[in-house]
Amino acid sequence: MRKFTKPTWLAISWLSLMMFFAIFGWALPFKSWNFVYEDDLEVGLFSNGHILGTDSNGYDLLSSIVAGTRMSIFIAIAAVGLGGLIGSVLGITAAYVRGKVDTVMVTIFNVGLSVPNLVLALALVSVLATNVDINQAVPTWRRVMVLIMSLTIVLIPILGRIARGATLSWAGREFVTAARSMGMRDRKIITKHIVPNVLPALIAVAFLAVGVVIIAEASLSILGVGIPDGASWGGMIARGRNDLEYAPHVLYVPIFFLALTVISTNHLGDVVRAQLDSREAKV
Amino acid sequence: MSSLLSIKNLGVNFDTARGSLEAVHGVDIEIPAGTSVGVVGESGSGKTVMCRAAMGLLQGSNVKRSGTVIFDGHELTAMSKEEVRNLFGSGMAMIFQDPMTALNPVRRIGSQLSEGLRVRLEMSKKDAMVRSKELLELVRIPNPTAVLNSFPYQLSGGMRQRVMIAIAIACNPKLLFADEPTTALDVTVQAQILQLLRELREDLKMSMVLVTHDLGVVAGNTDYVAVMYAGEVVEYAPTTKLFADMRMPYTEALLESIPKVDHKSGTRLAVIAGRLPNPTDRGAGCSFAPRCKYAQEKCHKEHPELKKDPDGHLYRCWYPIGVAL
Amino acid sequence: MLVSDRGGVVMAGSGTAHMRNTVDSVLTVRDLTIEFRVAKDKIVKAVSGLSFDVIRGETLAIVGESGCGKTTLARAVLQLPPPNSGEVVLDGTDLTLLPKENLRSARTSMQMIFQDPISSLDPRMTVHQLIDEPLEIWDRGTRAERDERINNLLNNVGLEPELVLNRRSYEFSGGQCQRISIARALALDPRVLICDEPVSALDVSIQAQILNLLQDMKDQFGLTMVFISHDLAVVKAVSNRVMVMYLGKICEVAPPDVLYAKPAHHYTRALLDSVPIADPTRQKKTELLQGEPPSPMNPPSGCRFRTRCHAASVRCAEHEPELQEVAPGQFVACHHPIV
């Protein structure tokens, strides 16, 4: 393994911390994120045992952040994982089979890409995650599922195209022809020769996609179709907007976490990309 | 005979992550005016790097060049980048192996060809176009007007190489560096391009450095040959002399190992055992010693110095062929 | 995308006089046509009505310049992809008629060596995995038997098993990669080895090693070879019979010594005259072939070489020449052969 640069180590450390929050956040000695500290409304950073302060509801921001990390990271990984899986299956198949299948798939991808991401997600969430009876709250899990689904749909054509492009270039290599001439089955050629070579390119883009999804989730929350009341970074930003004048930290804290996470995933995406390029250059 | 290009003790080092890589070492070559000199070697022998270093085309902070290069009375190694740049075109010019990457894919041939004329010779747009057409005729392109309006991808490999040659000779250079100009071409097209270069050299009184891996190409197209191995010129002689009376065991082995059309079919080829040396890890002795059938103890221990026969034949070998010790 | 061109006029083909039709022929190709549609109304006629046969233990060399269809032909013989029409008979079985599953197993008796030694090996696999792959697909023997076979194959191609087994292709030079490819191709004991420009990406000093190795492997494994190359000198060293192609058709078929000494087709002669000779005292002064080959999308009528041939007549434009025997074993498709 090559030595990483300092920024890369920073990005890895930050994402590790976020993963720790997401997985082991429940074990940290916090009260529930929505426990109301009635005596400490809108206190600043590092006050009264609230490292990141509280907001106007009296919620502790650190425990909100930890809970929000879980939600944001879960949504991001689930959406990118599902989108990547479906997208790569479709993309790889299309590029390997070629012909009509490919034409149809490319058309579908292009149509998907031409619809603005946020508009699509917004439409899906507002149709699928609302109740006829306005007074009855939509369960959080349902909102989360719909959110993941809509983001997945947005990601499929993006990752699918990447997978298709990479497959096209690898399937043309002579070792694939060689495998065929040895009598290898197509299914096995795909799993053994195509997928492992396409994967690095997909992983590089998946890192970028995680960042995109985190921001998309936040944007949807700000537009009011995110996780209702649930702690997510987007939800915190949405709530913090109202306090900007009196307690700007309520807004800046989640923004800081979100920004640093997105910068880290983007940076790691670039690192993976660069590793990939240097490996390609050797091949 | 005065020399047009004189290279003395040229060395090129690349700083890489794995340490310094000596790509070219102690090259001494004199190129007399009006001649054609072949530089022969296998991949990694340093032939391309040597030529680019001589032209001052190697850039980057990790490249270190040593030695002196004197071209037409100018000491290139002591000149600024700007001054060297001014010599390109009218002094020296270059053509490459792959004309597709050397031509800009999104600009028409006409504009790429006339550009040099307008910048270097300060011609008007109209004059430059007229001259461009003449140049295309000079390189025997059958329908020059159509080609002027074409994009590079619309031309065949042979046509693209002709266009590259037209660009190179646009400002009447004294010296043309041709780096594997026919390697990417088919054999019949290669013959056409080589013939074109021969004729142009004569008509324009131009010298040429022809870099190639093909001893056959060298034999019919050069006056002198420099054989390179592992970053060094191991033999340098007039072409006829080199083929008739070679000194270096490497040159001999290389010539023996190429299949020839006049061999009887089924003739088993002579083989040079082993592989090319690793440029980052050079031993103390002669770099060809591990593969040389004449190698003796001394060859593995001491690096041979460049020796000179009275007739100017240069070689780097402790036990040269045909020389009584 | 492959398309059939049944609607078009079926051309006379280059003839079949050179076919030996013996029981000894391992591979017989009859009237093979390969066409690609590159755009609407644009069909590349890569190979047109071409026939040849290869006899047991023989090396047939296919020579031609880029775009003459020689690589497409080799791949079509392996059914990668299958030709538009024609027969490819391997040991009495027409591969073009086989159902997919039978074709899969029939293919193993015909293996291919590619031009680019590095791109023909999966960069993620070790040498052991690469050579084990064909054995694994066909479940040849136990783990121990397979390992022994891999070691033997590597020794055969001149590589030290202990040194190379766990390394990956990008750690090797082009020549070594070509050795690995050869070992892999031999793993399934093929009858026919198709070599597509196996040495043109290699350095001169390595080229001879690989050519000699191929010759040794041919003798040792009793192989029949099809050797594709643009290099006439290389072809002469390895072949028993040479087939010269131009724009998807055969120009001339002959044993190498005859062909090189007395070419009968004007194209063969032009090719031979273009080969640079590594001897300054024997430079030929001959009339060079002018121009470049026409587009395979719109080949000339009659003889496809006529547009560049100095001996061309009206007859050449109107009638396609058929292969005819001009000397024992020498067949030429030309109305005005060189005599």
Q: Model confidence over C150-167: pLDDT tens digits?
A: 999 999 999 999 989 999
Residue B164 lies in a domain: no
Report percent pLDDT > 70 for chain B: 98
- C284 pLDDT more than 80: no
Helices (H), C138-226: 143-156, 161-164, 174-186, 204-221
Instruction: Please count the other Cβ atoms lying within 10 Å of the Cβ belonging to residue A41.
Output: 14
Query: What band does A51 get if pLDDT is binned at 50, 70 and 90?
Result: confident
The beta-carbon neighbor of A182 closest among C108, C114, C123 is: C108
CATH of domain C25-109+188-332: 3.40.50.300
For the ranges A241-250, B192-201, C27-36, the lowest mean pLDDT is seen at A241-250
Residues of B in contact with C209 (CB under 8 A): 271-273
What number of H helices and E strands is found in chain C?
11, 12
Look at residue B319 and tell me if it is in a domain: no
**CB-based contact, C20 to chain A, within 8 Å:** no
| Domain containing residue B51: CATH number | 3.40.50.300
CB within 8 Å: B261 and C288: no
Query: What was the pLDDT predicted at B80?
Result: 85
Residues of C in contact with B265 (CB under 8 A): 236-237, 239-240, 255-257, 260
A182 to C137: CB separation less than 8 angstroms, yes or no: yes
Q: Is A212 a domain residue?
A: yes
Residue A225: predicted pLDDT: 78
Tell whether C108 is within 8 A of chain A (Cβ). yes
pLDDT bucket at B101, cuts 50 / 70 / 90: confident
Closest CA of chain C from B254, distance in Å: 6
Which residues of C, range 58-117, sit inside 8 Å of B by Cβ?
A: 65-66
Question: Does the pLDDT at position C257 exceed 80?
Answer: yes
| Sheet strand arrangement including C93-94 | C42-55, C25-39, C85-90, C93-94
Q: Which residues of A touch C112 (CB under 8 A)?
A: 177-178, 181
Q: Do A53 and A44 form a contact (C-beta atoms < 8 A)? A: yes
Q: Domain residues for B183?
A: 3-91+171-246
Q: Is A172 on the interface with C (CB under 8 A)?
A: no
> Which of C243 and B280 is assigned the larger pLDDT?
C243
Using a CB-CB cut-off of 8 Å, the residues of chain B touching C280 are 219-220, 239-240, 243
Burial of B155 (0-12, 13-18, 19+ CB in 10 A): buried
Structure tokens at A97: 């089979």
- Domain assignment present for residue A21? The answer is no
Say yes or no: A178 contacts chain C, CB-CB below 8 A: yes
Domain CATH code at residue A178: 1.10.3720.10
Question: What is the CB-side half-sphere exposure of residue A163 using CA atoms within 13 A?
Answer: 30
Interface test with C, best of B189, B221, B261, B262 (most C CBs within 10 A): B261
- DSSP character string of C207-231: HHHHHHHHHHHHHHHT-EEEEEES-
Contact B158 C292 (CB under 8 A): yes
Residue B51 within a domain: yes
Judge whether C236 is closer than 8 Å to chain B, CB to CB: yes
Instruction: Categorize the per-residue pLDDT at B266 as very low, low, confident or very high, splitting at 50, 70 and 90.
Output: confident
| pLDDT score for A182 | 86
| Confidence at residue B83, expressed as pLDDT on a 0 to 100 scale | 86
A98:C1 CB<8 A? yes
Would residue B162 count as lying in a domain? no
The domain segmentation of chain C, as residue ranges, is 25-109+188-332
pTM: predicted TM-score of the whole model, two decimal places: 0.84
Chain C residue numbers with beta carbons less than 8 Å from the beta carbon of B189 are 65, 292
Q: With an 8 Å Cβ cutoff, are A185 and C104 in contact?
A: yes
In angstroms, the separation between the Cα of residue B133 and the nearest Cα of chain C is 19
Q: Find the residue in B nearest to C261 (Cα).
A: B262
Give kind and range of the element (H or E) at residue B78: none
Chain B with chain C: Cβ pairs closer than 8 A: 140
Q: Is the pLDDT of residue C7 over 60?
A: no
Rounded distance between C-alpha atoms, residue B207 and residue B36, angstroms: 6
Least confident of A137-151, A268-282, C310-324: A268-282
Instruction: Answer whether residue C12 shows pLDDT above 50.
Output: no
Q: Tell me: the pLDDT tens digits for C107-143?
A: 899 999 998 888 889 988 999 999 999 999 998 889 9
Kindly state whether C104 is in contact with chain A, defined as any CB-CB distance less than 8 angstroms.
yes
Do the domain assignments include residue B138? no
A142-156 pLDDT tens trace: 888 888 988 899 899
Q: Which residues of A touch C135 (CB under 8 A)?
A: none
Q: Report the distance separating Cα B85 and Cα B40, nearest Å.
A: 27
Mean pLDDT of chain A: 85
Does any CB of chain B come closer than 8 Å to the CB of residue C212?
Answer: yes
Split at pLDDT 50, 70, 90, the class of A26 is: confident
E strand residue ranges, C42-187: 42-55, 59-63, 85-90, 93-94, 110-113
Distance (Å, whole) CA C30 – CA B22: 56
Say which amino acid occupies A165. G
Cα B96 to Cα A41, B57, B211: the distances in Å are: 73, 13, 10
Half-sphere exposure of B70 (CA within 13 A, CB side): 12
What total number of domains does chain A contain? Answer: 1
Q: Is the pLDDT of residue A135 over 70?
A: no
Rounded to two decimals, the ipTM of the complex is 0.85
Name which residue leads in pLDDT, B185 or A82. Answer: A82
Query: Would an 8 Å CB–CB cutoff place C43 in contact with chain B?
Result: no
Residue B297 domain-assigned? no
Task: Find, in chain B, the residue whose alpha carbon is nearest to that of C283.
Answer: B220
| Assigned domain for A97 exists | yes
Domain count, chain B: 1
Does the residue B87 lie in any domain?
yes
Q: B184 CA to chain C: closest CA distance, Å?
A: 10
DSSP structure class, residue C2:
B
Instruction: Quote the domain boundaries for residue A228.
Output: 50-282
Contact list, B291 vs chain C (CB under 8 Å)? 205
